[in-house]
Amino acid sequence: MLDTIVKLLNEAGVTAWEIRDVKTRGWEFYFIRHALDQNRVRDVEHITVQVYQLIEDGAWLGTASCELAPTAQEAELRTQIADLAYRATLVKNKPYSLRAPEEAEAAAQAPIDVDAIAADFIRTVREIPETAGEDINSYEIFVSAKTRRILNSAGVDVTESYPDSMLEVVVNARREGHEIELYRNYTSGSCDTEGLRRDLLRTMRYGRDRLAAHPTPALGTADVLFTTSDAVSLYRYFADRLNASMVYRKLSDWRLGEPVAPDFRGDRPTLAALRELPNSSRNRRYDAEGAPIRDTVLLENGVARSYLGTRMFASYLGLEHAFIPTNFAASGGTHTEEELRAGKYLEVVEFSDFQVDSATGDLFGEIRLAYWHDGETVTPVTGGSLSGSMLKLAEEMYLSRESTQYDSWRVPAATLVRGVTVTGVE
């Protein structure tokens, strides 16, 4: 099939082309309580083609992409490729070249046993202790072995395989005639048994405490502690602002060799792009354009060190060996988690919504469950919101030396941010 597509692309006379072919083989399981409701095998293929056309005597480079059915006949493929070639002439970008072949560092690759990975997920969820007040309502497991091939007209032709899993869980909590549901979505490569068990046990507790929560007090500004996966959004802010597309479009003014905050009073974060993390669903030797992925320091003690991103924007900035990062690790903590938990602070563990806008720095979230630590007692609270700007808040963040992992991100287990605006409901 791919040979036919390449032939038709060359016949179409496009300036350049790129193909991504992803084959997925795996299992899906659907449980109600712990009883299997249904399961099925998944065996699919997705072929995406992107074409490039120089227009106006090479002044501009246009591009267009679409997905081609692996069962399509040659006549249908020819028509779709002709349409792509035309659509590409309607787009104007500065010219750039595609990735050239470049060998990635060798890496051992273990066989992918989707049956064993699925069994690990099922066993882990079934072993979670339940009570009359908190239990697992339902869960769905999706485990796949994926094989991805990337090739382009510049000579790139790379293939690799990797596991890709997702678990969706609904936890029920009930108290005195009231009941709520907490939804969780976990992505990973294989099953992180220890991390999954820890998080589901915490979710059970959050459900119980949510039913006994008091209104969040109006704190004005307060120290806020992040100890769940929402902390990833804080560190993604740093990664996004070091992306070549943000820098080129002037959505980020961070310059290499300079601090990313004007006045650090807290810990100075370090952020690295990594090729591999244990159990990550994004462990790759090559990125989505066929560029080798290398362990690279992006931010070092609060100082910008590297820009990374797509070939298009990297070339505009003159970056020869940039790539699209897949895994990240944040560090730089000078305190233990226990030390960060001293004093008064609000620990938010459940948001209705939490976002950090990487362009503006705006941070905002609606509180579903938090714990107000007043120095003596701990009170579960609900309602109200957080707000602030990472442009300022980044100056006084304190990171734990201990770390935890959420799929493709390893971050400090606790992150204390000072000066966050907390709007209560009292």
User: Helix crossing, 193-210 with 114-126: angle to 10°?
Assistant: 30
Q: 426 falls in which pLDDT band (50, 70, 90)? A: low
Reported as a single tens digit per residue, the pLDDT across 107-118 is 767 789 999 999
Q: For residue 110, what pLDDT is reported? A: 76
Nearest CA to 409 out of 325, 320, 286 is that of: 325
Q: For residue 47, what pLDDT is reported? A: 98
- What would the two tokens of residue 175 be? 């108290």
Q: Left (φ > 0), alpha (ψ -120 to 50) or beta: where does 312 sit?
A: alpha
Contact 395, 267 (CB under 8 A): no
Q: For residue 318, what pLDDT is reported? A: 95
Secondary structure of residue 328 in the 3-state scheme: strand
Q: Which residues pair with 60 in a beta bridge?
A: 55
The pLDDT > 90 percentage for the chain reads 94
pLDDT at residue 256 greater than cutoff 70:
yes
Reported as a single tens digit per residue, the pLDDT across 4-27 is 999 999 999 999 999 999 999 999
Distance CA 332, CA 12 (A): 52
What single DSSP character describes residue 118? H
**What separation, in Å, do the N-terminal and C-terminal C-alpha atoms of the chain show?**
64
The pTM score is 0.94
Reported as a single tens digit per residue, the pLDDT across 79-106 is 999 999 999 999 999 999 999 998 887 7
Angle at 362 between CA 360 and CA 366, to 5 degrees: 150
Q: 262 falls in which pLDDT band (50, 70, 90)? A: confident
Q: For residue 237, what pLDDT is reported? A: 97
Q: For residue 106, what pLDDT is reported? A: 73
Distance CA 399, CA 417 (A): 9
Reported as a single tens digit per residue, the pLDDT across 149-160 is 999 999 999 999
305 CA to centre of own chain:
21
pLDDT at residue 232 greater than cutoff 90:
yes
| Beta-carbon count within 10 A of 13 CB | 8
Reported as a single tens digit per residue, the pLDDT across 12-67 is 999 999 999 999 999 999 999 999 999 999 999 999 999 999 999 999 999 999 99
Mean pLDDT of the 316-325 span: 94
Residue 137 parent element (H or E): strand 134-152
Contact 6, 51 (CB under 8 A): no
Q: Calculate the average pLDDT of the chain.
A: 95
Q: What is the CA radius of gyration of the chain?
A: 24
With tokens 């993604």, the residue in question is 236
